[in-house]
Chains A and B, each alone.
Chain A
Amino acid sequence: MDNNSKSIAYVRTQESPTMAPPVSTGGVVGWLKENLFATPRDTVLTILTFLFLLWIVPPVVDWAFISAVWVGESREDCLAPGTGACWAFVEAKFGQFMYGRYPLEERWRVNLSGLLLIAGLVPIAIPSVPYKRENALYLLVAFPILAFILLTGQLGLEPVETPLWGGLLVTLVVAIVGIVVSFPLGILLALGRRSEMPIVKMFCIIFIEFWRGVPLITVLFMSSVMLPLFLPDGVSFDKLLRALIGVALFSSAYMAEVIRGGLQAIPKGQYEAANAMALTFWQGTRLVIMPQALKLVIPGIVNTFIGLFKDTSLVLIIGLFDLLGIVQQNMTDPNWISPATPATGFVFAAFVFFIFCFSMSRYSAYMERRLDTGHKR
């Protein structure tokens, strides 16, 4: 290969060295140019957003951290002018925010119930852990019974009245009971709505559309002031139980629609295949249709749960003390009342709700991506 020696002088014989990209497209400047100042409109938007952030972020940081009161005994510590958040208030009332007025010496039972719940939730949330069916049974049947025994105090444990329950405990109890009850109910309603028996179908449609069409607050009013009148003479329910009934009916209608979505996504061939295998309706549903449909709607169920979890805060309007309710009640404690207390309480409650809802919505998005792999366009 001696061609090289005869080559024309002005033809390059080697690759030229790579030059650095122009300053305007690389490094910090390039990033800024591309992401913040690409067009005049972008520049204006960037400046406006930046000014807005400048207006909002420093005071918030100052309020929440720099001027905040971290330790204190009473309102006196949070009264100074220019004081930011009164975190001492949250610190002093933390037990109440979590457990309500649940007796101090019995709070281990709440903690144990929480641990039992986590023990069931973690393995079911991780897709690769086996024994999903047993796990689901534990969560839907065994755990509620155990938690019921522990929390109310059955089998020789010191009974604890539900009016003493409060805080995050009530929030979680309402949300979890709502979801656990609404799950089987939602399946039945969804099957009923797709049934070919006209009367069953009609009842299910009416039931679902009714509960979906009314606000939860009216449902709670109904269960707190109207339901007692519909019960036989002398039978009465605990206030918390009544709220639970309302929440369960309400959420089962939403759950039914989520599950129906899953049922509709199952190709007709699956139904036909089940029939061809001589499976009865319930066998086919249990062994062929539901496992596929439920898997598809996991994100939907999680989203319903997030909605329900947020909606539990409404029980404060009927006088139950969920997390928000107990925070609001403690704001009026004469020992802690100060200009900073309400905002601190609200921010704390918002933070707790946010942690729960945000992590659940991340999980739901993760499952959505995981389940969606086959259908990407």
Chain B
Amino acid sequence: MNKKILSAVVGAAAVAGMGATVASAATLDDVKAKGFVQCGVSTGLAGFSAPNDAGDWSGIDVDLCRGIAAAVFGDAKAVKFSPLSAKERFTALQSGEIDVLSRNTTWTMSRDTQLGLNFAGVNYYDGQGFMVRKSLGVNSALQLSGASVCVQTGTTTELNLTDYFKANGMTYNPVVFEKLEEVNAAYDANRCDVYTTDQSGLYSIRLGLSAPDEHIVLPEVISKEPLGPAVRQGDDQWFSIVKWVHFAMLNAEEMGVTSANADEMLNSTDPNVMRLLGKEGAFGEAIGVSNDWAYQVIKQVGNYGEVFERNVGATTPLAIARGVNALWTKGGLQYAPPLR
């Protein structure tokens, strides 16, 4: 009986086209055939990937996906978003449900090697931090012994937390939830003294608490959390596209090319800019897209600096400083290989 249903459902769904997709080995061909990039994002983390009431997504991770769409199709809108929980994200990528996972995911060795993923870069250098109520009078994470700590499962956060408390000889009571919304609600209801996750996440979450001003993020950063997009192993072409869309955005910022001046820059005589904007060489063809790919990315989405400022920068409610996410020329860690 089982078989009948499955085959019937597969057949019916495939015929009707209700979400059942058949992908070929080359992700790029598949993406071109269906006409859009399917991008895995979070279920809602302000500044990284969050939908508004109308269902339009925005955030750093979202803009990377739009950049990929701009590179492939010349149209930043040719992208669809799949909100994924922490648990689902890797299966969704492994099974081909999404083409790229851009969901504030930490690059670790085991994920890179054992889960069949390739991380294509780091679009946000983060680190795990702690948030507490001001009324507790705590100003260092080392004073947190004995506290109840709210944490989301399925993240590297949970393991870092254990390691940090252990290394400092402190104890804690873990309160673990499956979904971000549930962790937020529990912390807001004072179920825990401490909320721990990536620092960028803490700023974002603080906005959603009933009294944001009553909470502070402690200065300690207890881990390295390089967040970046991931693709399936075994498809080097697609891997290159995702990697170089990110690098193109960084290079553009370094060269001062923005979405506003991209058209002017087309007339630039600087060979670096000419290569970037597709005036010289055939870098796009080498990765299977048109030669003006980077121009489209910058024109439609912007360079890395613009994306950062627009989504999490000083003018947004998150107000996160560039810090380690500044370009290497400005003392940060964001460094792109040259485009040549």
A and B touch in the complex (CB under 8 A): yes
Chain A interfacial positions (CB closer than 8 Å to B): 96, 101, 103, 148, 152, 154, 161-164, 181, 185, 188-189, 192, 203-204, 207, 224-226, 228-229, 231, 233-241, 245, 248-249, 252, 317-319, 328-329, 331-334, 337-339, 342
Bound CA span A234–B81, Å: 18
- A319/B85 in contact, CB under 8 A: yes
Given contacts A164-B55, A319-B83, contact A154 B16 (CB under 8 A): yes
- Interface stretch, picked from B88-96, B123-131, B144-152, B267-275, is B88-96
**B-chain residues with CB within 8 Å of residue A333 when the two chains form the complex:** 208
Evaluate contact between B24 and A318: CB separation under 8 angstroms. no
Known: A163-B83, A229-B95. A342 touches B20 (CB 8 A): no
Asked if A181 meets B1 with Cβ closer than 8 Å, knowing A235-B20, A235-B22, A332-B208, the reply is: no
The 6 nearest A-B residue pairs measured at CB: A238-B19, A228-B95, A234-B23, A101-B55, A236-B97, A225-B91
> Nearest chain B CB to A179's CB is how many angstroms away?
14
27 CB contacts below 8 A, A to B, read A96-B53, A152-B16, A162-B19, A185-B5, A224-B91, A228-B91, A229-B94, A231-B95, A234-B96, A235-B96, A236-B23, A236-B96, A237-B13, A237-B97, A238-B13, A241-B13, A241-B18, A241-B20, A245-B9, A318-B85, A319-B83, A319-B84, A319-B179, A329-B181, A332-B44, A337-B188, A342-B185
B25: interface (CB < 8 Å): yes
In the bound complex, CA of A204 to CA of B1 (Å):
8
Check B143 for interface membership: any CB of A closer than 8 A. Answer: no
Across the interface, name the chain A residue whose C-beta is closest to B19.
A238
Q: Quick check: is B290 within 8 A (CB to CB) of the other chain?
A: no
Q: How many angstroms between the C-alpha atoms of A116 and B285 in the bound complex?
A: 52
B16, B44, B81: the one contacting A329 at CB < 8 Å is B44
Q: B23 → chain A, closest Cβ, in Å?
A: 4
Enumerate chain A residues within 8 angstroms of B208, measured Cβ to Cβ: 332-334, 337
Partner of B5, one of A162, A181, A318, A331: A181
Known: A245-B9, A329-B44. Contact between A234 and B19, CB under 8 A?
no
Q: A203-B1, A236-B21, A245-B9 are in contact. List 9 more A-B contacts (CB 8 A).
A: A148-B16, A152-B18, A161-B80, A163-B80, A181-B5, A234-B30, A236-B96, A318-B85, A337-B210
B185 lies within 8 A of A241 (CB) = no
B286: chain A residues at CB < 8 Å are none
Interface residues of B in 42-99 (CB under 8 A from A): 43-44, 51, 53-55, 80-85, 87-88, 91-92, 94-97
Contact of A235 with B19 at beta-carbon distance under 8 Å, contacts A163-B83, A319-B84, A338-B210 already known: no
A278 to B78, CA, bound (A): 63
Interface centre among A103, A224, A235 (most CB of B within 10 A): A235
Q: Which of chain B's residues has its CB closest to A225's CB?
A: B91
Q: Knowing A189-B1, A318-B85 touch, does A234 contact B22 (C-beta < 8 A)?
A: yes
Cβ contact within 8 Å between A248 and B94: no
* B325 contacts chain A at the CB level, 8 A cutoff: no
Contact residues in B for A207 (Cβ distance below 8 Å) = 1-2
User: Does residue B320 face the partner (Cβ distance < 8 Å to A)?
Assistant: no
| Distance A233 CA – B1 CA, assembled complex (angstroms) | 24
Give the contacting residue for A318; candidates B19, B22, B54, B88; CB below 8 A.
Answer: B88
Say yes or no for B199: interface residue by CB 8 A criterion. no
From B55, B87, B95, contact of A236 by CB (8 A)? B95
Contacts of A237 in B (CB 8 A): 13, 19-20, 97
Which A residues are in CB contact (< 8 Å) with B163?
none
Query: Is the beta-carbon distance between A233 and B85 smaller than 8 angstroms?
Result: no
Q: How far is the CB of B117 from chain A (nearest CB, A)?
A: 14
**Hey, which chain B residues are within 8 Å of A342, CB to CB?**
185
The answer to whether A228 touches B97 (Cβ under 8 A) is yes
Distance of A340 Cα from B274 Cα, bound (Å): 58
Distance (Å) between the CB of B140 and the closest chain A CB?
29
A338 neighbours in B (Cβ, 8 Å): 210
B178 at the interface (CB under 8 A from A): yes
CB distance from B213 to the nearest CB of A (A): 13
A residues in contact with B87, CB < 8 Å: 225
> A152: which B residues are within 8 A, CB to CB?
16, 18
